[in-house]
Chains A and B, each alone.
Chain A
Amino acid sequence: MRTKHWKLMSKGAMVLAIATLSAGCGAASAQGNNSSGVVTITLSGWTSSPVEAQLMTKELGYFEKAYPKIHVNYRPISGNYEALLKTRFVAGDAPDVIYVNNGGESSTFIANKDLIPLNHYIKSSHFPIQDFYSSALSLFSSHGQIYGIPKDQSPLALFYNKTLFQKAGITAPPTTWAELAADAKALTKPALHQYGLINSVQEPRWAEFLLESGGGVMNAAMTRMTLTSPASLQGYRFFVNLYRDHYATTPPTVGAQWGGQAFGMGDAGMVVSGNWLVPFLNQTYPHTQFGIVPMPKGPVNAETLTFPVAYGITKDSLHPQASWTLIRYLTSKQGMTKWMNLGLALPVRPSLINLPYYAQHPVLQGLIADLPQSQAWTFPPGFVEYVTTTMTNQTTLVIDGRESARQALKVMQQDGTQLLGQ
């Protein structure tokens, strides 16, 4: 009885929610159409700094000048973006255009049909989709349909502390695994809280090494776990052995919250990180002398992980055409150039890697050089919990010496396979 009653109530609430939403939007567009034909769309994403939000606001100002019939409501979501964005969807209040993240978010949104396919818009507006890195584009595509236009990306590369390298008598940053291990050893001085490499043991940091030994977490089609293959084991072992030999450690060991901070504090000779570390170092630890090089080459290749982000149009959008106009504007060469000049992320269009900005900021060349051999970081839907808990926990046990590398991979393989079966 009670359940039924509440079911009705909740349905009522939902209907009310939807009704309010449509009424709200209807009012907005009706009002717009009646007077001047202006439509209002909402854009939501996260911001990594106030500067980023300011630039976006400025950009949207230019956009509205160029397209006076479209008004953009910019509503960045702070805090836990994914969680809050999902609540917006539940309430029927999803923004028209959203940032779509990597690492299992894109696949989840696509699988749940929360984004609309853009092929039709791409075609009709002759959008130069061929001028995008296929690794980034593939993350937002499924069965030939494109659900998001990549806006930027950040590949993983190796940051090294020039001062510490000099002190340890190392003349050049490592280019192979052997050099990486040797340099890490030479840079480690536990008495000074100094370690060769300081990184947390979250999945992308070690998955990186699996790729370079020719293995990987999953096959390309993401239908099968490949963690127990000999190649994967080789890459995983290389990573965990750096920790077991104490040439690498986790950030809290030196009193840091994350690897980038440990690096800024001068406690890490090297850190595997992305573009986001550069503005952080410039702002918070401006005295750290650092260089960036592509990931040292593994036994098989020098592939690296990259983290692309895209703009997508949500299924609830009442103005997909206007939304597309906005996306096209923001991802045009011109729009992207301004974005790239912030230095927060790297281009997703190969034609942009020669921007004057990169000549002025040569330190970024190490990251740019990684782009051609980069693979987007992603998972099938429903993997977030597994990646953030099982994978991190197993690796923590291994570096603490409480479990063997082989055993950890076996557990991850089993759990992952079970998830894929569901």
Chain B
Amino acid sequence: MISSQPQWIRHLIHGLYLAILILGAVTMFVPFLWSLSTALKPLSESLAFPPRWWPHPVDVQNFISIWKLVPVARWFGNSFLVASIVTVLNLVFDSMAGYALARINFPGKNFVFIGILSMLMVPFQSVMLPVYILLRALGLLDSYAGMILPMAVSAMGVFLMRQAFLTIPQEMEDAATIDGAGRLRMFVQISLPMVIPNMLTLALMMFLASWNNFLLPLLVANRTHLWTLPLGIVMFQQEYFVNWPLLMAAGVIATLPIALVYLLFQKWFIQGVASTGIK
């Protein structure tokens, strides 16, 4: 920021800012580090008060126990499969709807848009029962499809994509229209390539939303071999809910893959989250 303040005041202020940021960052990491620390302790040591941060000796038994007690790999695979398909479907459907709402001037457009946005206000818990009845009627209980279809479009995603398409210059399409290109071709060949960063963001957001969801799998998946990782962890929590080190190890196992994805693709996350709020 350009300012007329003396040099030393600016240094002081920057030092203060840095201190705030460091404190904030530590606050953000402490719970995760604490869960990792607990996960590496035997039960008896985990209850020490005041707590010890550094487990000694480091004990990976909790992770081994979880691996033996429950089919973590299978749950991991289920989560991955469900989240991937949910992501692909959202990419297709949300971007199509977002495109139409941004680019095509069709009758009732505003109504459709408000309708889609208002869906954000319906809490899933309150429609759980009808959703369950519906899935049963469609024969989708105890199936991957039952965990995927209700999440295949997202009002938030449509909103995000609409915002993205609004930023593309109109002239690009006008030129294509004069060439006689059809809507679908225009959409796929001209507009989509211009919003690839937003698509990546949408992909990551939907992947996360699906990966972290536990109420829908809880409702749909009866059999343990269909459980997703977070559902499995919550179930595990109910069975072993007082063995903190074991639970924290489960939490670490559930968080690590997501943390990895986040670190690898952080640019797209941040950019995408940012783009939801600008307009």
- Which residue numbers of A lie inside 8 Å of B, CB to CB? 10, 13-14, 16-17, 20-21, 24, 48-50, 75, 77-79, 84, 87, 90-93, 255-258, 260-261, 264-265, 284-285
Contacts and interface: CB of A to CB of B under 8 A. Distances in A.
A124 to B, nearest CB: 33
B129 A90 contact: yes
13 contacts: A13-B133, A20-B139, A21-B136, A78-B235, A84-B219, A87-B132, A91-B137, A92-B136, A93-B141, A261-B242, A284-B43, A284-B240, A284-B243
B218 interface: yes
B69 interface: yes
A12 to B, nearest CB: 9
Interface in B117-161: 129-130, 132-134, 136-139, 141
B133 A14 contact: yes
Contacts of B136: 17, 20-21, 91-93
Contact of B222 (A48, A50, A77): A77
B32 interface: no
Contacts of B240: 284
Given A50-B69, A284-B242, A284-B243, A78 B224 contact: yes
Contacts of B224: 78
A75 B134 contact: no
Contacts of A90: 129, 132-133
B56 interface: no
A161 to B, nearest CB: 16
Contacts, number: 61
Nearest to B129: A87
A20 B137 contact: yes
A48 B130 CA distance: 29
B133 A91 contact: yes
Interface in B63-95: 69-70
Contacts of A48: 239
A257 B241 contact: yes
Interface of B: 43, 47, 49, 69-70, 129-130, 132-134, 136-139, 141, 218-219, 222-224, 234-235, 238-243
Nearest to A50: B69
Nearest to B239: A49
B69, B130, B133, B224, most chain A CB atoms within 10 A: B133
A17 B137 contact: yes
A214 B218 CA distance: 44
A258 B141 contact: no
A28 B183 CA distance: 47
A92 B135 CA distance: 12
Contacts of B238: 78-79
Nearest to B132: A87
Nearest to B240: A284
A78 B48 CA distance: 32
Nearest to A49: B239
A90 B240 CA distance: 31
Contacts of A284: 43, 240, 242-243
A78 B219 CA distance: 10
Given A50-B69, A284-B242, A284-B243, A79 B133 contact: no
Contacts of A10: 130
Contacts of B130: 10
A89 to B, nearest CB: 11
A90 B131 CA distance: 12
A77 B220 CA distance: 11
Given A78-B224, A79-B218, A256 B242 contact: yes
A398 B119 CA distance: 45
B149 to A, nearest CB: 15
B242 A258 contact: yes
Contacts of A92: 136
Nearest to B242: A261
Nearest to A86: B129
B47, B69, B137, most chain A CB atoms within 10 A: B137
A77 B221 CA distance: 9
Contacts of B137: 13, 16-17, 20, 91
Contacts of B223: 75
Contacts of B222: 75, 77-78
A10 B136 CA distance: 13
B132 A91 contact: yes
Contacts of A50: 69-70
B216 to A, nearest CB: 13
A256 B234 CA distance: 19
